Chains A and B, each alone.
Chain A
Amino acid sequence: MMSQASIDRSERPDNRVSDRAAESTFREVDDSDRAIPAIEFRNVTMIFDERKILNDLSFKVMKGETKIILGGSGCGKSTTIKLVLGLLKPDSGQILVDGEDVTEYDETDMMKVRKKIGMIFQEGALFDSLSVYENVAFKLHEQGVPEDDVEGEVRRMLRFVNLEDAIDKMPSELSGGMRRRVGIARALVGDPKIVMFDEPTAGLDPPTARTICELAMKLRDLEDVSSIFVTHEMNNLDYLTSEYAVVNEAGEVVFEKEGEKLCLINSKVLMMRDGQVIFSGTDETLRKADDPYIHRFLRGH
């Protein structure tokens, strides 16, 4: 992880990065439990209609790491992250979240695990009948948090995704990119240490897709969040594996390219095909892989 000399945070504009983010960035990391993976799949198999959606899938996502899961449509990417949240159950194998085996957990037990995890759905999955404020505040309202505290937290989250102006709008009034960003704000309430992205940039224009990736990078580099980022878009892979977020001396979040100064070790790639892992490693090794399918996937022909 990056470390940097102290910065006078009082000079930092409030709408740039959360207090917790800065603390997390500049704090000396000394967690003995960092050796425990945030997420671990052990030989997970899932069968649907006699077809193996996932076939003996095993991988780990370490603390503070972003695992980019690549693969074509129907290869089991979205199923994988739904399994982490217990929205689906595997036919065999084990799933561990924060070292806790959640495979056999029922819905009531899973509710406690889900509180640690934020999930960003493909189309945002905002509640149509609720405003942006109510969507982001959903979790806090359910927990019975006083309204004054709710508003502060909702505004903080909407500032993080740069959408505070849309607080009173209904989801139907938002563009696709705005919906995704509200979805991100909603998922980040309660500061989950694990975040799942299910194709968050699908169907978005390149600048908006870039914005979503920047949010994922901010979470990874400034908030020490472990995440799974499911995508089939190569732009996302390029951004997430070659750039990192830092807070500059003016207190603003900037994105720098990895190079001689720093090599990103907190982003790994997992490539899936027909429910199986066909590659696991860094983006550099992915680009050098011999597999013709990977070549076709990376180059588009």
Chain B
Amino acid sequence: MNIATRFLLELQEMSLLVGRAARGLFRKPRYVPETIAQMDSIGVGSLTIILLTGFFTGGVLTLQTYQTLASYGAVDQLGYLVSISLVRELGPVLTALMVTGRVVSAISAELGSMVVSEQIDAMRALGTDPIRKLVAPRILALIITLPLLTLIADVVGIGGGWAVSTFLFGLPSAMFTNSVRDGITTDDIIGGIIKPLFFAFLMGTIACRKGLKTEGGTVGVGRSTTSAVVMASIIVIIADFILARALQLVLGTQK
């Protein structure tokens, strides 16, 4: 089978998986407790790494751009530059990549282990559809929590930028905050929320698909986990470019 055929086959399998998971959301039994448990594990569980990543990314962004802006006499634009970078790009992408490392790997490994220990077959044998019970709650929980995590990363990142600008460079606090307030538009924020919705959908689908097609025992679990993380990371970066361009066209944010 050549690469193009394999790619199309994989795309077909993922579409079928998503279709079945989506249909499952509207049928009984509804797996609300499972979805809430996943939201807790994915959302609350990822909070610490997102807070740290956001804060230090905002901080380092300020650290690196301060000198350049100072040489142009545009230090008053520091807040704008940092916040726009975070809200439009770094917030969504870094959050997605951090969650990929933590959650996509975990979902893929968990489902993969369940496949090799025949737990998925056992679930089917007991009359429960694993796609509805396991896949749908995970994808839905990611779609709900990733935009929230991104917003938190944005806010904390801007806070990190403000902290560096105020305490390290001694700039007036109001200069940074006014620049943020004047620079950021509603479209930037909407764009920054739309992106993680797509990222979450792609990440969840890849994680579940890779996990469920695990073959070859524990070695296979390792292989599918690695492959899920690599694929999800690459897809997030590619999707980011496509979405950025689409949002520029749709929201008219192209300057």
Contacts and interface: CB of A to CB of B under 8 A. Distances in A.
A115 B127 contact: yes
Nearest to A135: B122
B127 A139 contact: yes
B127 A121 contact: no
Interface stretch (B75-83, B113-121, B142-150, B221-229): B113-121
Query: Size range of the interface on A?
Result: 20 to 34
B126 A186 contact: yes
Contact of A107 (B118, B125, B129): B129
Interface string A72-87: 0000000000100101
A87 B121 contact: yes
A117 B117 contact: no
A128 interface: yes
Nearest to B31: A142
A138 B133 CA distance: 12
B29 interface: yes
Nearest to A82: B121
Given A125-B122, A127-B122, A111 B117 contact: no
B181 interface: no
A111 B119 contact: no
Nearest to A81: B125
A125 B118 contact: yes
A123 interface: yes
A122 interface: yes
B245 interface: no
B124 interface: yes
B122 A144 contact: no
Nearest to A118: B125
A87 B129 contact: no
Contacts of B118: 121-123, 125
A121 B126 CA distance: 12
A125 B121 contact: yes
Contacts of B67: none
A119 interface: yes
Nearest to A189: B126
B125 A138 contact: no
A210 B79 CA distance: 75
Interface in B96-148: 113, 117-119, 121-129
B126 A114 contact: yes
Contacts of B129: 107, 111
Contact of B29 (A111, A121, A127, A144): A144
Nearest to A115: B127
Contacts of A119: 121-122, 125
Interface in A119-133: 119, 121-123, 125-128
Central interface residue in B118, B119, B125, by most chain A CB within 10 Å: B125
Q: Interface majority SS on A: helix, strand, loop or mixed? A: mixed
Given A125-B119, A128-B119, A117 B125 contact: yes
Contacts of B122: 119, 121, 125-127, 183, 186
Given A125-B118, A127-B119, A128-B119, A142 B126 contact: yes
B128 A87 contact: no
Nearest to B27: A108
Contacts of A128: 113, 117, 119
B128 A138 contact: yes
A87 B29 contact: no
A143 B76 CA distance: 63
A139 B121 contact: no
A114 B29 contact: no
Interface string A248-270: 00000000000000000000000
B127 A125 contact: no
Central interface residue in A85, A107, A125, A183, by most chain B CB within 10 Å: A125
A187 B126 CA distance: 7
Interface in A79-123: 82, 85, 87, 107, 111-112, 114-115, 117, 119, 121-123
A203 to B, nearest CB: 14
Given A122-B118, A127-B119, A128-B119, A87 B127 contact: no
Contacts of B123: 127, 138
Contact of A139 (B113, B119, B126): B126
Contacts of B124: 85, 87, 107, 114
Contacts of B128: 111, 138-139, 142
Contacts of A85: 124-125
22 contacts: A85-B124, A87-B121, A87-B124, A87-B125, A107-B129, A111-B128, A111-B129, A114-B124, A114-B125, A119-B121, A121-B125, A122-B118, A123-B118, A125-B117, A125-B121, A126-B119, A127-B123, A128-B117, A138-B123, A139-B126, A142-B128, A187-B125
Q: List 8 tightest A-B contacts by C-beta distance, closest first.
A: A125-B122, A125-B118, A119-B125, A121-B118, A114-B127, A139-B126, A111-B127, A115-B127
Interface of A: 82, 85, 87, 107, 111-112, 114-115, 117, 119, 121-123, 125-128, 138-139, 142, 144, 183, 186-187
